[in-house]
Structure 1
Amino acid sequence: MNEMLKVQSHHLERGAYLYIRQSSMRQVMENVESTKRQYNLRGRAIGLGWRDDQVVVIDSDQGESGASASWREGFQHLVSDVGMGRAGIVMGLEVSRLARNNADWHRLLEICALADTLILDEDGVYDPANFNDRLLLGLKGTMSEAELHVIKARLRGGILNKARRGEYRCPLPTGFIYDDVGDVALDPDAQIREMITHFFETFSRVGSATQTVKTFSREGLLFPSRLRNGKQVVFQPLTTSTAMRMLHNPRYAGVYAYGQRHYRRTADGKKQLRKRDPKDWLACIPDAHPGYISWEQFQHNLKVLEANGQGYQTARASPPREGAALLQGRVICGRCGSHMSARYAARRGQVDTWYVCHRAYASRGERHCQSIAGWPVDEAVGELIAAEMTPAAVELTLEIRKEIEARHDEVDQLRLRAVERAQIDADLAQRRFMLVDPGNRLVADTLEREWNDKLRMLADVREEREKALREDRLALNDAIRDRLVAMTENFKTVWCDPTLPNRERKRLLAYLVEDVTLLKFQAEGETRIHIRFRGGRTETLTTQNPKSSAQQVKTRPEVVELVDKLLDDHICAEIADILNVRGIRPGGAARRGKADAQFTDLRVIYLVKQYGLQPRYDRLRERGMLTKAEACAKLDITDCTLVRWAKYGIVKRHAYNGYIGLYELPESNVPAKQCSRWNQLVHRAEAIRLLNAQNA
């Protein structure tokens, strides 16, 4: 009777909303009675006065948890219709069906109170606008949320108790299975085990997850991957994400680990993942089951990955890469002690290497600590490494050959496993085809087609293995043998081989050198290189710093000195020819890409003016040379006579600017009779020359 008093006419004019929910699909399939009880609430609404066509059933949230409303579309639709005044009553079997979260529940109560909407459960009808009903509904919501917490805590406690003992069964990664008694064991498939072992050995050799993936791709190896059903294993190309996941999984080290990550629900209902520190793991049991690597090797792999993933501003010894910087990741600043980074600059048609210490600039905005040209340093360190390695080249050659042969044998063994697996699949398809009834052509044709596909796959795998064997044998017999012989005779030949990848040089350097400290002396124009070898031995080298741009275009001092000396006896054009014959080139010619540039008279004149050299004219005047006018006045002759005397060597003419020159008289005082005698000799010589010309 009390329920009928709460239901008013304006409530009956609106719809009756029936909300149905089960927490999981398993409950939907197994707890059918609960579902029937929820649907039976339709009769309660009809009994209170609503027509059958006014009852709106919302059951789209079947199999959804009531812990939050963010992922329940049906509940959001219900709240929306209540807020728009379409619902006269909201029905649910119990409060927990509507919400197990106080925030969602009280929001619904507030909206129902504002919209004058009733709430019905199995116990009765409530008016959220009434204080007593509102209080009772709030208590029911609190108890529903507490019930969910108790259920979760009970289940969680049981899981944690088993996990701490290492008995909680978690999905196993590829390479592990549960045996008949429930213990973790290595996969019985030999191909899977050998492929995973080869993966960890390759990572230990190359020191990078990306390089490991490239190595598998280059060798043509497919990596096993377990499907989501946990039973079937497929072979597919190795990816970087798979490699990183394996390297971070402690299961491969034989460690039972639980609680490595912490999940939280965000406001929009999504899961938020946060990794825990290893010391905060809920369970960590070493040697819990067989593994592929040791716990120490697993921790070392994590350190390598951490060093590889650090930013360029962080001090690190990064894995070898393709760049030309030989000391990449191993250079330490001699002033501040920070690691220096490698930089590349394209200049003059080539890529130059620089080692830069920019920690002060990045953190405090100050000037770079040091910036050192890398090619002189790399050349000096490379020569030292070549000299150090040559005495031990024979022993190293044998070790390298053994390693290459072992690596080829290991890869071939993995390819052989793939052939065996393809053979097993082909045999299985053959047995299926042979067992089928020949009269049942529909099934027989399908099995025959499957058998043919398996045979083609077997032929392809065998062909790939034979091709790889030929390539490996050719590489080992020809190219590798030549390099090993060259290494035995002279390791420097192999080190300077342009076909040797830079990554291999850096990898070899990493086995010998711990770090290299650089200290630049600007005034002396040199760089000190302090090399610390593995084992503690040190070595110090000194290299000359490359010239700056201004220094490169500047003429060398010895050239300027030579020009100054040649000015005593030669004009600028003659000096240019002398310099060109001696193979001397102008300053900066190579830098401007003009290695064949030569000196000209204008270049020599520029040097004379630029470096303040004494002009040839002044030098001749200091030696007492006279101009044409002065010489004519001194000898009391005409200009033409002076020219003829110079032509026949009576007086000496010294050029200082092309055809313009100064004259050197034979004596300080020349008598008039002597001048007349000279003129007679000149006239006689000219007459003889003309007569000879006519006779000819």
Structure 2
Amino acid sequence: MNEKLKVQPHHLDRGAYLYIRQSSMRQVMENVESTKRQYDLRGRAIGLGWRDDQIIVIDSDQGESGASASWREGFQKLVSDVGMGRAGIVMGLEVSRLARNNADWHRLLEICALADTLILDEDGVYDPSNFNDRLLLGLKGTMSEAELHVIKARLRGGILNKARRGEYRCPLPTGLIYNEVGDVVLDPDAQIREVVSHFFETFARVGSATQTIKAFAQEGLLFPSRQRNGKQVVFQPLTASTAMRTLHNPRYAGVYAYGQRLYHRTIDGKKQLRKRDPKEWLACIPDAHPGYISWDQYQHNLKVLEVNGRSYDIVRASPPREGAALLQGRVICGRCGSHMRARYADRRGQVDSWYICCRAYASHGEPHCQSIAGWPVDEAIGDLIAAEMTPAAVELALEIRKEIEAHHDETDQLRLRAVQRAQIDADLAQRRFMLVDPTNRLVADTLEREWNDKLRSLADVQEERARALNDDRLTVNEAVRDRLIAMTTDFNRLRKKALALMWHC
């Protein structure tokens, strides 16, 4: 059927909508010929009888994929105007420009058929209300969606094939880089390596991500973080998200891993991810490159995090409160496993304590599980503490103190690295200032300002290190050592006297 015969006067009374789209910004910048061909469709509309001022160009979806219409505002506006009867014809270079999703494409065809709107592509003009034209347009939409599937499958197959061999280059976490030949190696920056190693050592020592963050904060240490450009590394305070991300990343264990998450889009176009079980990873190659910890240590860290996450719900200890009971908030019922509460009663002129398991009564109205007198339990615990408080225990405490001092020395080395980095930046800023022409004040003033900023940063880092050293260098001298040993001799007598005073208060 002739194109001009399909165009009726009531079509010419409405607007001619020209939809222009490229799938990515790279295509917009490089495939300029395709964009030019799409804009040239204006001439087709004018040849069919539309005036130039009736042609409405929608090109706000440049750089957007046609896989869905949920994130394409231009396509949504097009469908809305067609449904309101404003469009006499919809123009696109080909079906794939308008949609690569059959649901979006057939929805547009249905609305065009109801609104008596024509569709034009490079091959001709179609009337969606005509069965033959509708059948042809539906076939073109199916082929367009299949083409997108073939393209994705081809690209995805190549990526998976390289990933199974461990050759697909993925972004590396801070502390690992690609060398000149493409192999993964530890970062050559000594400060970055030492801080990352110190992070895993601290977690192994304290056994908690939160405590690791607190340890970094107390020691005044900053954690390296690579910027989005993948080159520049900045040092900033350690956060919970960074700590958890570092502990869950298998690359730190020297393992090449790919496909740890499964991505899919929801009906509103948003991307959602679901973590896969390690057995479902698409690629997992141990000892693929150097790491900071072993694979066994990595798995152990994950188990520690899992136990820490469950412990709050399984057994939650209540905080200690006022009162003479020695084990308030710490006693666990031997029958049900719940924490027992301390209760006090004024009897015979003194305050007696009782440990009562009343969780079931408070939650479900059931009878108390059991109750135990507090003073026999406190007496037994006191004797145990007195037996442990011996000169040998003090010697052990002093040995632990020595380990702490060694840890402080290790931490100071990390602070020294930060001072050295700040000194290098200050020296570099000084050389830049010295090399500039003094008469060029516009440049000289800027470089001088940068030099002063680097010097202030250096002074702040040096001051922070000096303060931390002053706090860390608190050693237990011989006089304190002798005093601790002598104190253990009379500890039991002092404990009993203090306990008696508390019971009779």
- TM-score bucket of the superposed structures, by smaller chain: 0.7 to 0.9
> Does 2:114 match 1:114?
yes
Q: For residues 102-155 of structure 1, what are the alpha-carbon distances to aligned partners after superposition, in whole Å with 9 as ceiling and x for unaligned?
A: 111111011001000011111111111111111111111111111111111111
Counterpart of 1:476, as a letter, is T
Which residue matches 1:694?
none
Q: For residues 64-120 of structure 1, what are the alpha-carbon distances to aligned partners after superposition, in whole Å with 9 as ceiling and x for unaligned?
A: 000100000000000000000000000111111101111111110110010000111
The 1:94–1:255 alpha-carbon spacing in structure 2 relative to 1, beyond 3 Å, is same
CA distance in 2, matches of 1:177, 1:415: 23
Q: Residue 289 of structure 1 aligns to a residue in which SS?
A: coil
**Contact 1:333–1:357, Cα closer than 8 Å, also in 2:** no
CA distance in 1, matches of 2:369, 2:133: 75
CA distance in 2, matches of 1:423, 1:232: 18
Q: Give the drift of 1:6.
A: 0.9
> Does 2:304 match 1:304?
yes
Which residue matches 2:467?
467
**Contact 1:254–1:290, Cα closer than 8 Å, also in 2:** yes
CA distance in 2, matches of 1:278, 1:497: 57
The 1:97–1:305 alpha-carbon spacing in structure 2 relative to 1, beyond 3 Å, is same
Q: Give the drift of 1:489.
A: 5.2
Q: Give the drift of 1:252.
A: 1.1
Counterpart of 1:224, as a letter, is P
Q: Give the drift of 1:335.
A: 2.7
**Contact 1:393–1:491, Cα closer than 8 Å, also in 2:** no
Which residue matches 1:49?
49
Q: Superposed, which structure 2 residues align to 1:120-131 within 5 Å?
A: 120-131=120-131
Q: Give the drift of 1:224.
A: 1.1
**Contact 2:354–2:371, Cα closer than 8 Å, also in 1:** no
CA distance in 2, matches of 1:120, 1:496: 100
CA distance in 1, matches of 2:249, 2:102: 39
Q: Residue 384 of structure 1 aligns to a residue in which SS?
A: helix
Task: Structure 2: state its 5+ residue gaps.
Answer: 496-501
Q: Give the drift of 1:469.
A: 1.3
Aligned length: 491
Which residue matches 1:167?
167
Which residue matches 2:14?
14
**Contact 1:247–1:302, Cα closer than 8 Å, also in 2:** yes
Counterpart of 2:118, as a letter, is L
**Contact 1:486–1:493, Cα closer than 8 Å, also in 2:** no
Q: Give the drift of 1:414.
A: 0.8
Q: Superposed, which structure 2 residues align to 1:285-296 within 5 Å?
A: 285-296=285-296
Counterpart of 1:166, as a letter, is G
Q: Give the drift of 1:397.
A: 3.2
Which residue matches 1:215?
215
**Contact 1:390–1:490, Cα closer than 8 Å, also in 2:** no
The 1:459–1:54 alpha-carbon spacing in structure 2 relative to 1, beyond 3 Å, is same
CA distance in 2, matches of 1:455, 1:353: 63
The 1:205–1:368 alpha-carbon spacing in structure 2 relative to 1, beyond 3 Å, is farther
Q: Superposed, which structure 2 residues align to 1:458-497 within 5 Å?
A: 458-473=458-473, 475-477=474-476, 488=485
Q: Residue 310 of structure 1 aligns to a residue in which SS?
A: helix
CA distance in 1, matches of 2:30, 2:102: 28
CA distance in 2, matches of 1:326, 1:217: 32
Partner residue of 1:340 out of 338, 341, 364? 338
Q: Superposed, which structure 2 residues align to 1:590-669 within 5 Å?
A: none
The 1:257–1:425 alpha-carbon spacing in structure 2 relative to 1, beyond 3 Å, is same
What TM-score, normalized by structure 1, do the two folds share?
0.65
The 1:224–1:30 alpha-carbon spacing in structure 2 relative to 1, beyond 3 Å, is same
Share of identical aligned residues, percent?
A: 79
Q: Give the drift of 1:312.
A: 3.9
Counterpart of 1:300, as a letter, is H
Counterpart of 1:27, as a letter, is Q
**Contact 2:217–2:237, Cα closer than 8 Å, also in 1:** yes
Q: Residue 150 of structure 2 aligns to a residue in which SS?
A: helix
Q: For residues 182-231 of structure 1, what are the alpha-carbon distances to aligned partners after superposition, in whole Å with 9 as ceiling and x for unaligned?
A: 11111111111111111111112222111111111111111111111111
Q: Give the drift of 1:446.
A: 1.0
Which residue matches 1:523?
none
Which residue matches 1:564?
none
The 1:153–1:485 alpha-carbon spacing in structure 2 relative to 1, beyond 3 Å, is farther
Q: Superposed, which structure 2 residues align to 1:269-668 within 5 Å?
A: 269-310=269-310, 312-314=312-314, 333-336=333-336, 339-341=337-339, 369=369, 377=377, 380-381=380-381, 383-384=383-384, 387-388=387-388, 390=390, 392-393=392-393, 396-473=396-473, 475-477=474-476, 488=485
Which residue matches 2:263?
263
Q: Residue 475 of structure 2 aligns to a residue in which SS?
A: helix
**Contact 2:329–2:341, Cα closer than 8 Å, also in 1:** no
| Stretch deviating more after TM superposition (290-299 or 98-107) | 290-299
**Contact 1:81–1:87, Cα closer than 8 Å, also in 2:** yes
The 1:36–1:341 alpha-carbon spacing in structure 2 relative to 1, beyond 3 Å, is farther
Q: Give the drift of 1:493.
A: 8.9
The 1:378–1:204 alpha-carbon spacing in structure 2 relative to 1, beyond 3 Å, is farther
Q: For residues 617-667 of structure 1, what are the alpha-carbon distances to aligned partners after superposition, in whole Å with 9 as ceiling and x for unaligned?
A: xxxxxxxxxxxxxxxxxxxxxxxxxxxxxxxxxxxxxxxxxxxxxxxxxxx
**Contact 1:329–1:340, Cα closer than 8 Å, also in 2:** no
The 1:378–1:36 alpha-carbon spacing in structure 2 relative to 1, beyond 3 Å, is farther
CA distance in 1, matches of 2:264, 2:334: 48
Rg (Cα) greater in structure: 1
CA distance in 1, matches of 2:494, 2:225: 40
Q: For residues 218-265 of structure 1, what are the alpha-carbon distances to aligned partners after superposition, in whole Å with 9 as ceiling and x for unaligned?
A: 111111111111111111111111111111111111111111111110
Q: Give the drift of 1:298.
A: 1.2
Q: Give the drift of 1:467.
A: 1.9
Q: For residues 421-453 of structure 1, what are the alpha-carbon distances to aligned partners after superposition, in whole Å with 9 as ceiling and x for unaligned?
A: 011001101111111112211111111111121
The 1:275–1:141 alpha-carbon spacing in structure 2 relative to 1, beyond 3 Å, is same
**Contact 2:319–2:329, Cα closer than 8 Å, also in 1:** no
CA distance in 2, matches of 1:344, 1:257: 51
Counterpart of 1:41, as a letter, is L
Q: Give the drift of 1:380.
A: 3.8
Task: Structure 1: state its 5+ residue gaps.
Answer: 499-589, 596-696
What TM-score, normalized by structure 2, do the two folds share?
0.88
Which residue matches 1:141?
141
Q: Residue 476 of structure 1 aligns to a residue in which SS?
A: coil
Which residue matches 1:563?
none
CA distance in 2, matches of 1:371, 1:19: 79
**Contact 1:361–1:367, Cα closer than 8 Å, also in 2:** no
CA distance in 2, matches of 1:436, 1:47: 64
Counterpart of 2:338, as a letter, is M
CA distance in 2, matches of 1:150, 1:496: 85
